[in-house]
Structure 1
Amino acid sequence: MTGTVGTGPSKRAGACTILSQDAREPLAGTAYTRDRWLLVEHPGPWPSGAVEEVLDRGILEAVRERDPAIRITLIRRPGVRTVDRPEVFYVDGGLTDRFADRFADRVAPSAAVPTADPTADPTPPLIRRTRIDSYDDLRILDFGDPGMGEPHPGPMFVVCTHGKREICCAEFGRPVIRALAQDDHDVWEITHIGGDRFAAAMITFPHGHYFGRLNPLTAQTTARSYADGRLETGNLRGRSGMPNSAQVAELELRRRTGLTGLDDVQVTAVEGDCPGQETSAVVHLSVRDSDGGAGADGADGADGADGTLGDAGASYRVELRREDFPDEVLNGCAPTSEPIIRRVWKVLGLKEWPMIG
């Protein structure tokens, strides 16, 4: 499944998810740009502000003091509404070292060529799991300590059902939760993850791939593929932890080549996509493995040395420009939601790099 398949119809006129889908607003490049997560079990109910309204301010400050870049969310098992000792999961998507300097101060990198070894193995993503007696225990947990808790083999599938924040997330997310539970996956509901108008929205951990506009069938296919080490690109929004331009570039290369392995494509450097250079970017990528060579669009869609894409060890350069999406989109269904103009990354060209000859 490579083409985008949308979510189902809504019972509500003017649902933001349906309006976004009908306008063909791109999903690519809409994943969160950090890759460390703290998932805290809380049975609900979840108010609109979720984390900020449920957890004590002092707890949140203590967690963020240890790791200012970590994203804290609430999760719960479907149908579970009482919890004695909450489970806590720490997720590191494995991209922290590669992009830490970019997000530390958001300055443009000085290198004009890939800055990471394209032949090196990527840092493996991880999930660690523990239980706490009370939420106050979050103040003292050292999430970066390899001895904290125990490794969780994954995968985990979290689907936003945060209806008090955005009704589309509940309307489209809950049928997806039920479908995934039928396959006996490790499935959780989660609070707001960004991009409410892309419901049903799911993240696959530990890698942190975002998917949007899922329906029960596409969600099952996506989860089965991920559990098997493959990506379904049709509803893929991007991998959290990458700059948005890099998310778009990786998806473009995958779609042109048909590469679906989780680690087949590696982003090795990003130029631009930062303050002072917000409208242009160059993304360098390498292919670490190939599952059968170029896809049907590979030969015609790229300006490569020999007209093909996807060979293991090959490197590519993707040029992008940020533009206004032509249609206004409604950023939510709340009465206070207003139409916005979204800026999207458009691929200008993809070439094998360095060029030969």
Structure 2
Amino acid sequence: MPDFRCSAASAEDDEPLAGTALTDTDLLLVEAPGPWGHDAVRENRLAAPVREHLAALDGVKVLLLRRPGGSSGPGTRVFRSRREGVGFAVTTTVLPDPLDLVDLDLTTLRPYDDPLWLVCTNGRRDRCCAEIGRPIAEVLSRRWPEGTWETTHLGGHRFSGTLLALPSGFTLGRLDANNVGEVCDALERGEVPVEHCRGRAGLPGTAQVKELHVLAGGSPDVEVVAHPGPLRRQSCGSPQEKATTRYEIRSASSD
């Protein structure tokens, strides 16, 4: 199937979005302009000592960033985003030289309070991310030029276009250049566009599903149970079928 697109197949099957956001609670976001490989942290234009350092970090998920259109600098922008309360605490710095990352004390970064829109665009990982994500990033950059970044793998290629919003942590899916402005405007107003929301990053899948259920007007007195889902092709880049997860919402009084 040379023209297979995982995002189109997922949408056609009406695969549920809820419960598919990142579960990582500590993210390190590093500006790395230029092309990224399939394994972006190891395959990029950063110097070898920096790549090795980032790949060896324990307990921190590393995402690479670049500006829409390919601009970069001055300096190398770094963000750290850690789960705190119902969202994330974001801190930042600008390094004169990317090699400074090797000895960077992450506790010295300064608070960053403005919104960040991180759009997955790594086409070497999956073509849907590039084809759908890059036009989305371009649209957002006109409204939020400082807060919009292209990023590496957020998980869930098949939900492209996909986006991580910080500091809320909400991860969005099935976006396109036509709807993304309205969806992000809603988030900035403090609303949650549940129909495009995969969940809040940093939570287990069951907690993501329960939160979205409540935000959609459902009762909080429920239990969410994870079950093995059907095998499906999850990426344009690989024909391999992988297991998915399905979530069942039960009344708390159910057996």
Q: Deviations over 1:117-155 (max 9, x none)?
A: xxxxx3763221211122221122121x2xx24322221
Percent identity of paired positions between Structure 1 and Structure 2: 31
For 2:167, the equivalent position in structure 1 comes to: 206
SS in 1 for 2:124: coil
Taking the aligned partners of 2:178 and 2:19, their CA distance within structure 1 comes to 23
SS of residue matched to 1:175: helix
**Alignment pair present for 1:191 and 2:181:** no
- TM-score, normalising length: structure 2: 0.88
Give the drift of 1:224.
0.9
2:235 alignment counterpart: 332
2:188 maps to which of 205, 214, 227:
227
User: Distance between the aligned counterparts of 2:143 and 2:74, measured in 1?
Assistant: 26
Query: Is 2:94 the partner of 1:134?
Result: no
Consecutive unaligned residues of structure 1, counting only runs of 5 or more, are 1-11, 95-121, 258-301, 303-315, 352-357
Contact persistence 1:158–1:187 (CA under 8 A): yes
Q: Deviations over 1:246-294 (max 9, x none)?
A: 111111111125xxxxxxxxxxxxxxxxxxxxxxxxxxxxxxxxxxxxx
**Stretches of structure 2 lacking an aligned partner (at least 5 in a row):** none
Report the Cα offset of residue 182 of structure 1: 3.1
Do the aligned partners of 1:213 and 1:235 also contact (CA within 8 Å) in 2?
Answer: yes
Give the whole-Å Cα distance in 2 for the aligned partners of 1:207 and 1:93.
10
- For residue 29 of structure 2, what is the aligned residue in structure 1? 39
Measured after TM superposition, the shift of residue 232 of structure 1 is 1.2
Distance in 1, matches of 2:105 and 2:228, equals: 42
1:63 to partner: Cα distance: 5.5
Distance 1:71 1:56, change over 3 A: farther
* Paired AA for residue 93 in structure 1: R
**Contact 1:93–1:207 (CA<8 Å) still a contact in 2?**
no
TM-score with structure 1 length normalisation? Answer: 0.64
Residue 209 of structure 2 is aligned to residue 248 of structure 1 = yes
Secondary structure at 2:42's aligned position in 1? helix
Q: Which residue identity lines up with residue 217 of structure 2 in the other structure?
A: R
Matches within 5 A, 1:6-21: 13-21=3-11
Q: Secondary structure, in 3 states, of the residue corresponding to 2:249?
A: strand
Deviations 1:185-206 (A, max 9, x none): 5211001111111100000011
Alignment-derived partner of residue 88 in structure 2: 125
Contact 1:32 1:194 in 2 (8 A): yes
Provide the residue aligned with 1:292 in structure 2.
none
Instruction: Looking at secondary structure, tell me which structure has more helix per residue.
Output: 2
- Tell me the amino acid that sits aligned with residue 182 of structure 1: R
Q: CA deviation at 1:58?
A: 5.0
User: Whose Rg is larger?
Assistant: 1
Which protein has the bigger strand share?
Answer: 2
CA distance in 2, matches of 1:61, 1:350: 48
